[in-house]
Amino acid sequence: MAGHKKYGHIQYVSYYKMEEMKLPEDLNTDGIMIKNATDVPDVDIVKYDQEVFPYERSKYVLTLLRKKNGFGKVAFDENEKVIGFGTVIIYPSGECVLSPLYADDKRIAQAIFKNILEQIPLDDKRLLRFHVRSVDKCQGGFEWIQPFVKCPIRKDLAAYLCYTTHLPVINYKKAFVNFPYTNCAI
């Protein structure tokens, strides 16, 4: 940690092989509508992101949620208010990276991930594994994923994230899976 005596966050990562994943049939998604991120106005996505991470990164968020090799989704309530978003990006290596997953609560986070999983053939031999990460401050942690895995939840230490002045001000209650930690804090 090169001179730092205090860390800002502890970054964890979980890897699940495709055969360890499942699509739960009994998940309650009542009242939650999911749309492709490409079909949602920019302002709606950016506004929700600002509720979680109050720093300007609109181009980054929109680009990540709308990647051609990804499955960017936005969740809405019955009043058509954005209540979450997330994406899985599939890389040429077969790595399926879930990043980010923001939602008002666990049920919404699970609805977004379920909608994404319904579009990914879990038996495709070209797909290697799911890569899921989170930091210790995220209240959603890793428990939200339990209905989607056939095995016990795993998490491994990936990194200690240090900051030179202070921790960024973030709404951790809505962060279930953070953005790639090489690019931004949460």
- The Cα-based distances of 115 to 47, 66, 72, 104 in angstroms read 22, 16, 10, 16
pLDDT for 146-170, tens place per residue? 999 999 988 877 776 766 666 667 7
Q: Is residue 131 within 8 Å of residue 97, measured between CB atoms?
A: yes
pLDDT tens digits, one per residue of 76-106: 999 999 999 999 999 999 999 998 999 999 9
Q: If you average pLDDT over each of 2-11, 49-58, 59-68, 154-163, which comes out highest? A: 59-68
Is the previous residue joined to 100 through a cis bond, with omega within 30 degrees of 0? yes
Instruction: Considering the domain delimited by 9-177, tell me its CATH architecture.
Output: 3-Layer(aba) Sandwich (3.40)
Where residue 113 falls among pLDDT bands split at 50, 70, 90?
very high
Higher pLDDT, 62 or 158: 62
**Domain coordinates in residue numbering, the chain:** 9-177
Q: What are the structure tokens assigned to 169, written together? A: 């001000």
| Phi–psi pair at 130, nearest 5 degrees | -95, 140
User: From CA 41, how far away is CA 62, in angstroms rounded?
Assistant: 10
E strands within 18-125?
A: 33-36, 73-76, 82-90, 95-103
pTM (predicted TM-score) = 0.90
- Between 183 and 39, the higher pLDDT residue: 39
DSSP for residue 180: P
| Residue 123 DSSP symbol | T
